[in-house]
């Protein structure tokens, strides 16, 4: 990440865009996660500290466990208040696109953003962005959009405008997109940023407790059930599969967010190179989540077969079909990807 995030000329031009804007909208992707919410709210706090009228608009409801973020209560949820969202975009002269690379990721909010006359700035860390913009900061090598937002603010000399609340939001996304600094987290720059955020008053341990150590009863039980009863290992493809049907979700009193990170668990088993989690969110609609280790790309699988995308080691998609059909499809395509699996020799090297 040591190379500069934006050139001095880009920093100047972004600063001017911000100075000229009177109303600013900040957006992130649907089913917002800690990085989407954290980066949006962090930037919104800084822009409001600069005296700007700023509104964060998200496509659908954030999960309850992120509502502790300062400012989360003021977010406009487009699926609940479409007219309000429409009005925000119509009146915005600058729109920030944070943590997504394709307008498909904001669902029904896409036409609102497309039709807005406002300038558009993308700050994102997903591969191959396809969004037209006046400024594009696309850095797949940076582990979170929150870290990117910090670096962009820094390039503009604006980190002095980050108070404790903005810093808390920034820290949240850096933690969630690295599993509390357990992957994609070897860049020393991250710790320089983190040190600054903590010096701005962030209680990192308290945020950790809220993010990773606070669970509903339904989540604790469902995670246990998913692991003990529903995990299937498929050694010939170095794969693991967990499925949860609508009936099972109902039985456990499922709330959104309850299965967060379930897909990661099988990867802790030596010999499992990729893990697939299928959740039947509605009858006939299945959300697909995948995780992998090393060079094995689940992004390619999700793009090609499940209308999705993401990162090499963490990706997702969806399929409109009964759960059994999606399971059959997943198992059916596994042989296609066998050639990309690490050989026994490579795996030995990894564990050395």
Q: Which residues of this chain interact with ligand 5GP, rule CB under 6 A?
A: 105, 126, 289, 308-311, 314-318
Smallest separation (angstroms) from ligand 5GP to the CB of 242? 12
Residue with Cβ nearer ligand 5GP (14 or 306): 306
Q: What is the largest CA-CA distance in the chain?
A: 59
Tell me which residues touch Mn ion (CB under 5 A): 35, 99, 145, 177
Residue with Cβ nearer ligand 5GP (21 or 290): 290
Residue with Cβ nearer ligand 5GP (57 or 301): 301
Residue with Cβ nearer ligand 5GP (166 or 288): 288
Residue with Cβ nearer Mn ion (99 or 260): 99
Quote the tokens at residue 134: 């006046």
Nearest one of 137, 164, 161 to 148, comparing CA atoms: 137
Smallest separation (angstroms) from ligand 5GP to the CB of 312? 11
Going from the C-alpha of 19 to that of each of 89, 120, 149, 175, the distances in angstroms are: 18, 14, 17, 31
Contact partner at residue 165 from ligand 5GP, Mn ion, none, CB < 5 to 8 Å by partner kind: none
Contact partner at residue 196 from Mn ion, ligand 5GP, none, CB < 5 to 8 Å by partner kind: none
Contact partner at residue 99 from ligand 5GP, Mn ion, none, CB < 5 to 8 Å by partner kind: Mn ion
Nearest one of 161, 193, 159, 154 to 175, comparing CA atoms: 193
Residue with Cβ nearer ligand 5GP (126 or 219): 126
Contact partner at residue 62 from ligand 5GP, Mn ion, none, CB < 5 to 8 Å by partner kind: none
Contact partner at residue 317 from Mn ion, ligand 5GP, none, CB < 5 to 8 Å by partner kind: ligand 5GP
Angstrom distance (rounded) from CA 198 to CA 306? 40
∠ CA 284-288-289, nearest 5°, is: 160
Smallest separation (angstroms) from ligand 5GP to the CB of 99? 8
Angstrom distance (rounded) from CA 151 to CA 173? 14
Going from the C-alpha of 287 to that of each of 243, 244, 259, the distances in angstroms are: 10, 10, 12
Residue with Cβ nearer ligand 5GP (38 or 308): 308
Smallest separation (angstroms) from ligand 5GP to the CB of 173? 11
Q: Where are the alpha helices (DSSP H) in 75-181?
A: 82-91, 110-115, 145-155, 164-176
Residue 274: φ, ψ to 5°: -145, 155
Residues forming a β-bridge with 57: 27, 76
Smallest separation (angstroms) from Mn ion to the CB of 142? 9
Contact partner at residue 48 from Mn ion, ligand 5GP, none, CB < 5 to 8 Å by partner kind: none
Angstrom distance (rounded) from CA 187 to CA 1? 7
Smallest separation (angstroms) from Mn ion to the CB of 174? 10
Angstrom distance (rounded) from CA 329 to CA 33? 27
Q: How far apart are the first and last CA of the chain?
A: 27
Smallest separation (angstroms) from ligand 5GP to the CB of 103? 11
């Amino acid at each position: 990440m040591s190379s500069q995030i934006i050139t001095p000329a880009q920093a100047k031009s972004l600063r001017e865009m911000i100075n000229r804007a009177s109303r600013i909208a900040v957006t992130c992707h649907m089913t917002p996660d800690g990085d989407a919410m954290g980066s949006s709210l962090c930037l919104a706090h800084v822009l409001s500290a600069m005296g700007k009228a700023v509104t964060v608009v998200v496509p659908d409801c954030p999960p309850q466990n992120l509502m502790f973020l300062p400012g989360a209560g003021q977010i406009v949820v487009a699926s609940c208040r479409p007219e309000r969202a429409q009005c925000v975009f119509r009146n915005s002269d600058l729109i920030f696109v944070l943590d997504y690379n394709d307008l498909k990721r904001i669902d029904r909010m896409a036409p609102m953003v497309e039709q807005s006359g406002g300038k558009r700035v993308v700050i994102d860390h997903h591969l191959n962005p396809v969004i037209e913009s006046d400024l594009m900061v696309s850095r797949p090598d940076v582990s979170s959009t929150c870290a990117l937002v910090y670096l962009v603010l820094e390039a503009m000399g604006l980190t002095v405008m980050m108070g404790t609340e903005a810093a808390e939001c920034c820290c949240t996304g850096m933690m969630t997109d690295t599993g509390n600094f357990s992957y994609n987290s070897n860049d020393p720059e991250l710790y320089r940023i983190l040190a600054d955020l903590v010096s701005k008053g962030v209680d990192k341990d308290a945020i950790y407790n809220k993010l990773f150590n606070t669970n509903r009863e339904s989540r604790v039980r469902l995670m246990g059930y998913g692991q003990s009863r529903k995990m299937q290992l498929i050694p010939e493809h170095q794969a693991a599969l967990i499925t949860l049907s609508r009936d099972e979700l109902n039985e456990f009193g499922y709330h959104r967010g309850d299965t967060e990170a379930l897909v990661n668990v099988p990867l802790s088993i030596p010999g499992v190179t990729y893990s697939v989690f299928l959740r039947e969110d509605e009858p006939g609609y299945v959300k697909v989540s995948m995780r992998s280790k090393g060079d094995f790309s689940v992004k390619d699988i999700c793009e090609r077969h499940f209308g999705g995308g993401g990162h090499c080691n963490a990706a997702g998609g969806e399929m409109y079909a009964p759960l059994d059909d999606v399971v059959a499809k997943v198992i059916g395509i596994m042989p296609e990807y066998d050639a990309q699996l690490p050989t026994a020799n490579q795996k030995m090297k990894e564990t050395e």
